[in-house]
Amino acid sequence: MRISARADYAVRAVLELAVRQGTEPVKAEAIAAVQDIPHKFLEGILGDLRRGGIVDSRRGGGGGYRLARDASAITVADVIRTVDGPIVSVRGERPTGLEYTGSAQPLLPLWIALRANVRKILEGVTIADIAGDALPEPVQRLAAEPAAWENP
């Protein structure tokens, strides 16, 4: 599984809005500068996030972006799906839409299990968890495993 630059930037932008929640709307330029995200690229991402109901925007001098709902109600999976579509796909298709025959048949349950595990983690972590530096215990345990930090 690969996390696209678009998904990474989207999560970082939403996180930036979460830590500034309760203040005035945040301009895209400010998010781009603080998170080192190309401004033009970020504008497109913020548009997708607005259409997806993750952020709201306001025009004008006091305008900018803010979260459309509380950070505790937005999962990392929500953000990634909004900007990139399905979280796990095989050749651009959802695993449930695939069919294999012969010796390849055992691949389908493998892809389904992979999707289930990725979803379990990304749907179990909210933007508020990250903003509060409080990742859920199962995620902390996985990240603490020495092998998790090694590149095979």
Alpha-carbon Rg for the chain, nearest whole angstrom, is 18
d(CA 90, CA 126): 26
Whether 83 has a pLDDT exceeding 90, the answer reads yes
pLDDT reported for residue 60: 84
Determine the residue type at 36: D
DSSP H helical ranges for the chain: 5-19, 28-35, 39-51, 76-84, 107-123, 127-131, 137-144
- Per-residue pLDDT, averaged over 47-72, amounts to 94
pLDDT digits (tens, 9 = 90+) for 112-124: 899 999 999 999 9
| CATH code of the domain containing 34 | 1.10.10.10
Domain that holds residue 52: 5-148
d(CA 83, CA 10): 7
Claim: this prediction has a pTM higher than 0.85? yes
> Number of folded domains in the chain?
1
pLDDT reported for residue 74: 98
